Structure 1
Amino acid sequence: MSGLRVTGRLRSLARVLAAGAFMVAGLSSTAAHASETAPLAAAPQLGVQFNADGDAGQCGGRTGEQWAASPDWTQAIRFDTDGRSGGCQLAFGVYDPDRALAGASVSYSLRPSAGGDAGQCGNYQSTYSMPILPIQVFGQAVRVDTDGRPGWCDLTFSVTGNVVLDVQFYPDGDAGQCPDALPAGQYRSAFVGTPVTVKIDADGRSGGCQFLLRLRHF
């Protein structure tokens, strides 16, 4: 009689263990499925396009097209325009695959300084939006061709919404070519109501101006 009771208990225990194993397996399967169908959000990327349209030695650093994921810095580009032929074409864009920046905007403009020779700052002296799209595209290109003529070009960035744009701009030679620049590693931040302007006055003096950007969102 006692043997029958022990056997019955063992069978009951086996059924309980089997049911528990089934539940654990079910939970594991559900968790695995959830992780497969809910990937981490992709970070927005800031794009810079920088090309020479004359003597390539005037447009240094990372030329061509580049994209940096938030909150990484772009690679430096370098203005060293002078009396050589041509200048540097510059454009920007934001790649936002998951629409993290919906409702935000980033704009840029290139204009001559007060009293400066407007011919140093190209034909597109207006304000342009950086496209914020789930594809990698750039806005209108602006052109820097500063030299020994009076004045310089003001490159200004403005933002709205949940973004901050950090701007590094510093000389690697004669500091007079990069008016109001900060030392390397320091930066100014454009956020709602607070634009940032860099002053590009590269010419025949030694060195040039290094320029980097970083996009942050919250």
Structure 2
Amino acid sequence: MVKLFCASILYKAPGKANWLSSAYDLSTFNFFQRGSAQEFMSFVSKTIVERTHTCSRQSVKEGDYMCHVYVRADNLAGVILSDQEYPHRVAHTLITKVLEEFAAKFIPSSWSSLAENSAAFPQLNSYLAKYQNPREADAMTKIQEELDETKIILHSTIEAVLERGEKLDDLVSKSEGLSVQSKAFYKTARKTNSCCSLG
């Protein structure tokens, strides 16, 4: 069954991305892995937003997962983490919709000053639930066919979006945003290669 795991909104400031709001569905993860899975999804989302050019979209494959990213001209960024079966166009349609609603609710001048994950945007949870079934979601968003015309850059690994010489293993070990448990979770996942880097 196709699955959405995470929807996030970030603001891409020079050199880094700031969290504005996020929602997770970790029901497919073992109870004891959920905290580490969520932390690692946040880390990957932030890393990819920081390495996505303004005014561009990309879908990055990492193990069994896809990370769909869109950074708008105003540097408001959206990320959807899904399994590989989830249709890219539906994920990008959802990102566009979520960012438009967020921008209508919060004035752009407040984005850079909002405290980490402090933007009250409960719509993110309802969209994450509503879009779990891409067929239903797609029926609702057929009008947004113009997204088909939009170029979405596809990458087969996260390493493809990192800067030359950067390695995900190094970023994970240096990260201050990941707990010891999450780093161990990542290493175990990498070794078993069963669920690669996101969980």
Name the TM tier (shorter chain).
under 0.3
* Structure label with greater radius of gyration: 1
Q: Which has the higher contact order (CA 8 A, sep 6+)?
A: 2
What TM-score results when the alignment is normalised by the length of structure 1?
Answer: 0.25
What TM-score results when the alignment is normalised by the length of structure 2?
Answer: 0.27
Identify, as 1 or 2, the structure richer in helix.
2
Identify, as 1 or 2, the structure richer in strand.
1
